[in-house]
């Protein structure tokens, strides 16, 4: 059902498979695979497709005949217990919970939650708290970010950019800042996964 709906919607827009792929930011083969039924898009991509065609996800999958998308007040995002190197966020299977975010915020980008580990960001962020993160690979000095360093699990720190590299700054004064030279940023690597936009304290 999905492949038929997708093809019909695409053709109604006068788009080729390549044209739709460009609009969605995927390869043409992905659209071809979806329309042939070889595979289905991820949940996030299904929402993106439905939004592009201004239809509901349920309509897209033939669950409902109601074409107009509902306007939810909130969106659920997965909370990850851990993020390791080499695994795209959307492919991480260590989902420990879900958090709801405002639909208006959700419309501004892609988001995930991350459970805080350790005490380096105390007193503001404590172990077990959840941060809501906007996926992005760049940040500005002063932003609190999720960073992946040298294949280790993701860490939450405040970032400071300098002429010679970057410094990851903990909130807890008993922890030392971590400096990485420009060469280390490239070679380790040090990679920004996203910017923290909300903190959900757990008691």
Residue-wise pLDDT for 143-171, tens only, equals 999 998 876 678 899 999 999 999 999 99
Residue pair 83/153 in contact (Cβ under 8 Å)? The answer is yes
pLDDT band at 89 (very low <50, low <70, confident <90, very high): low
- pLDDT attached to residue 72: 63
Q: Which residue spans of the chain are classified as CATH 1.10.260.40?
A: 2-60
pLDDT band at 141 (very low <50, low <70, confident <90, very high): very high
15-36 as b/e, with b when 16 or more CB fall inside 10 Å? bebeebbeeeebeeebbebbbe
- As a CATH number, domain 74-200 is 2.10.109.10
pLDDT band at 99 (very low <50, low <70, confident <90, very high): very high
Residue 50, token pair as written in the block: 């439905």
Residue 85 has pLDDT above 60, yes or no: no
pLDDT band at 91 (very low <50, low <70, confident <90, very high): low
- Does residue 202 have an active-site annotation? no
pLDDT band at 86 (very low <50, low <70, confident <90, very high): low
CATH 3.90.550.10 is the classification of domain 2-60:
no
Q: Which residue has the higher pLDDT, 152 or 119?
A: 119
Q: What is the mean pLDDT of residues 28-35?
A: 93
CA–CA gap between residue 107 and residue 37 (Å, rounded): 28
Strand order in the sheet with 190-200: 95-102, 74-80, 111-115, 130-135, 190-200, 144-149, 155-162, 165-169, 178-181
Q: What is the 3-state secondary structure (H, E, C) of the chain?
A: CHHHHHHHHHHHCCCCHHHHHHHHCCCHHHHHHHHHCCCCCCHHHHHHHHHHHCCCHHHHCCCCCCCCCCCCCEEEEEEECCCCCCCCHHHCCCEEEEEEEEHHHHCCCCEEEEECCCCCCCCCCCCCCEEEEEECCCCCCCCEEEEEECCCCCEEEEEEEECCEEEEECCCCCCCCEEEEHHHHHHCCEEEEEEEEEEECCC
- pLDDT attached to residue 90: 62
Mean pLDDT for all residues in the chain: 87
Question: Which of 5, 56, 157, 158 is labelled catalytic?
Answer: 157
Question: Which of 71, 120, 181, 187 is labelled catalytic?
Answer: 120
Q: Which residue spans of the chain are classified as CATH 2.10.109.10?
A: 74-200
- Does residue 71 have an active-site annotation? no
pTM for the full model? Answer: 0.62
């Amino acid at each position: 059902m999905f492949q038929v709906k997708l093809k019909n919607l695409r053709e109604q827009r006068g788009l080729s498979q390549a044209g739709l792929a460009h609009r969605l930011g995927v390869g043409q083969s992905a659209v071809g695979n979806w329309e042939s039924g070889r595979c289905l898009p991820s949940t996030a991509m299904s929402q993106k497709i439905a939004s592009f065609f201004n239809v509901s996800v349920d309509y897209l999958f033939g669950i409902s005949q109601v074409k107009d998308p509902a306007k939810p007040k909130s969106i659920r995002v997965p909370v990850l217990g851990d993020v390791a190197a080499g695994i795209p966020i959307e492919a991480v299977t260590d989902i420990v919970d879900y958090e709801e975010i405002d639909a208006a915020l959700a419309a501004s980008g892609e988001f995930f939650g991350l459970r805080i580990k350790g005490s380096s960001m105390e007193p503001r962020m404590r172990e077990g708290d959840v941060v809501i993160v906007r996926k992005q690979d760049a940040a500005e000095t002063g932003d609190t970010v999720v960073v992946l360093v040298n294949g280790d699990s993701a860490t939450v720190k405040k970032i400071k950019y300098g002429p010679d590299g970057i410094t990851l700054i903990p909130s807890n004064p008993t922890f030392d800042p971590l400096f990485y030279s420009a060469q280390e940023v490239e070679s380790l690597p040090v990679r920004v996964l996203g910017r923290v936009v909300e903190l959900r304290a757990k008691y």
